[in-house]
Amino acid sequence: MDSNTLVAGKGIKRLKNAGINVIVGVLEKECREHHKKFFTVQDKKRPYIILKWAETRDGFIAPLAKKDQRPVWISNQYSQQLVHKLRSKEHAILVGTNTVIFDNPKLNVRSWSGENPVRIVLDKNLRIEKNLSVFDESVKTIFITEKKEPYFKSSLDLIFETIDYSKNIGVQICEILYKHQIQSVIIEGGLQTLQTFINENLWDEALVFTGETEFNEGIKAPVLNGIIKEMINIKTDVLKIYTND
Ligand SMILES: NC(=O)c1ccc[n+]([C@@H]2O[C@H](COP(=O)([O-])OP(=O)(O)OC[C@H]3O[C@@H](n4cnc5c(N)ncnc54)[C@H](OP(=O)(O)O)[C@@H]3O)[C@@H](O)[C@H]2O)c1
C-alpha cells in the first residue's frame, strides 16, 4: 500500500459516510513536506536518508594524516551544535568503518537535549576494536558485517546484521534498517560510505557544511548532483541543503 492509498483509503470514506464534510488536497505540498519521513518509509520501504558532511573551502573532508584518534573539526561550534540538534530529530545515525577507527566518534546528542539516535556502523570484517565508543552500549548499535559468526553475540544494545559487501550495499542496508523499523537515518561519513549511498541514489537530503579552513590535500569530499534548496550562513560556515527530487 502506498501513501496515496493510505490517505485516500477507508478513513475518508468512513468520515463521508458518517455525514462529515471532508475536503482533501488542502496544503498538499506542505503536508507532504511535513510527513516526508513517514511517506518515504511507506512508499519506498526504506528510511528517509539524510547525508551530512563538513568540507574545507578547498573541498576536503579530512587531512591525509592525523595524529590523534578523534575528528579534525572543519565546521565551527555553532554548526557542530546544530548537527547535534539534527541528530536528535533522526531515528538513526550511520558511519563507515574508517570513520570509527580514525575518529572514535560517540555519535550522540551531547550539545542538545533529546534522544540519542540508534547507531549503525559498517564493519565488514569486524576490524573495529572493542574499546572504541561504538561498543560502549550507551545506545542501541547495529553493526553491518559480512562475518557470519561475529565475535560478540547480539544483545539488546549490540546487534550484528550480515550483508553481502560485494553488491548493492546501500539497498541491503536499507532492508535491514526497514526491518528494524528505522524511520530516518543521518549518514555522517566518511567518503566511501557517503559515496556508496550517492552512487546507489539512496538519499533524500544532503547537508553540506563548508568551513573556512583549507587543507590543500586530504580526503576529497563526496561528489553529489543535487538541487540546492537552501543556503544558510552559520557565522563563518555555510550550510548548503540539497534535495534529491
Ligand atoms: N568531514 C566530515 O564530515 C567527515 C565525516 C566523517 C568522516 N570523516 C573522515 O573521513 C575519513 C574516513 O573516510 P573513508 O572514506 O576512508 O572511510 P569510511 O567511509 O568511514 O569507511 C570506509 C570503510 O567502510 C567500509 N565500507 C564503506 N562503504 C563500503 C562499500 N561501499 N564497500 C565496501 N566497504 C565499504 C570499508 O571497510 P573495510 O575496509 O573494512 O572493508 C571501508 O574501508 C576519516 O579521516 C574521517 O575523519 C570526515
| All structural domains of the chain | 1-34 (no CATH), 46-243 (3.40.430.10)
- In this predicted model, what pLDDT tens digit does every residue of 135-155 receive, in sequence order? 999 999 999 999 877 667 777
Mean pLDDT across 17-27: 93
- Whether the pLDDT of residue 228 is over 90: the answer is yes
Which residues, 6+ apart, have CB-to-CB distance to 224 below 8 Å?
Answer: 51, 198, 206, 208, 242
- Reading phi first (left if > 0) and then psi (alpha if -120 to 50, else beta), residue 37 is in alpha
Q: 73: which DSSP letter?
A: -
Q: What does the mean pLDDT of the chain come to? A: 93
Question: Using DSSP, how many helices (H) and how many strands (E) does the chain show?
Answer: 8, 11
Closest by Cα among 245, 238, 235, 198 to 220: 198
Asked if residues 191 and 61 have their Cβ atoms less than 8 Å apart, the reply is yes
Judged by average pLDDT, the poorest of 156-160, 193-197, 199-203 is 156-160
Residue to substitute in 74, 104, 125, 191 for testing ligand 1 pocket (most ligand atoms within 8 angstroms of CB)? 191
**Mutate which of 97, 106, 147, 174 for ligand 1 pocket (most atoms within 8 A of beta carbon):** 97
Question: Nine-digit cell at 41?
Answer: 518509509
Cell of 203: 538519499
Q: Which three cell numbers stand for residue 3?
A: 501513501
Q: In the prediction, which pLDDT does 68 show? A: 86
Chain center to CA of 166: 22
Counting atoms of ligand 1 from 1, which one is nearest the CA of 189? 6
Helix (H, G, I), strand (E, B) or coil at 245: coil
How high is the pLDDT of residue 23? Answer: 92
What is the reported pLDDT for 214? 97
| Residue of higher predicted confidence among 12 and 19 | 19
- Calculate how far, in angstroms, residue 99's C-alpha sits from the geometric centre of ligand 1: 5
Relative to beta strand 48-55, strand 184-187 is: parallel
pLDDT at 105: 96
97 Cα to the center of ligand 1, angstroms: 5
pLDDT tens digits, residue range 166-190? 999 999 999 999 999 999 999 999 9
Q: Which residues contact 8 (CB under 8 A, 6 or more apart)?
A: 24
Task: Supply the pLDDT for residue 1.
Answer: 42
Q: Label residue 41 exposed, middle or buried (CB < 10 Å: 0-12, 13-18, 19+).
A: buried
The answer to whether residue 5 scores a pLDDT higher than 60 is no
pLDDT in the model for residue 148 = 77
Q: How far is CA 172 from CA 122, 193, 202, 243, in A?
A: 12, 13, 11, 23
Do 3 and 42 contact (CB within 8 A), yes or no?
A: yes
Q: How far apart are CA 150 and CA 109, in angstroms?
A: 28
Dihedral in degrees, nearest 10, Cα atoms 98, 102, 103, 107: 20
pLDDT in tens, 64-87: 988 888 889 999 999 999 999 999
- Nearest CA-CA partner of 42 in 10, 5, 13: 5
